[in-house]
Amino acid sequence: MIQSGADIVTVATVLGHESLDTTMVYTRPGKRVMIEAMEKSEM
């Protein structure tokens, strides 16, 4: 869901997590997302 553009709060709600910390345990940025972030930071 994150890689499709959903924000972390929405994902946590859909999964029934009471804490964003729980959701963060299961979310990792994909390779494409990391490359895009690195490219943006080089501007």
Task: Identify the pLDDT of residue 18.
Answer: 94
CB 2 within 8 A of CB 20: no
Region of 17 please: left (phi>0), alpha (psi -120 to 50) or beta: beta
Task: Identify the pLDDT of residue 22.
Answer: 94
The 10 Å CB-count burial string (b at 16+, else e) for 4-39 is eeeeeeebbeeeebeeeeebeeeeeeeeeeeeeeee
Span 14-31, pLDDT tens digits: 999 999 999 998 888 788
Q: Which residue has the tokens 């709060």?
A: 9
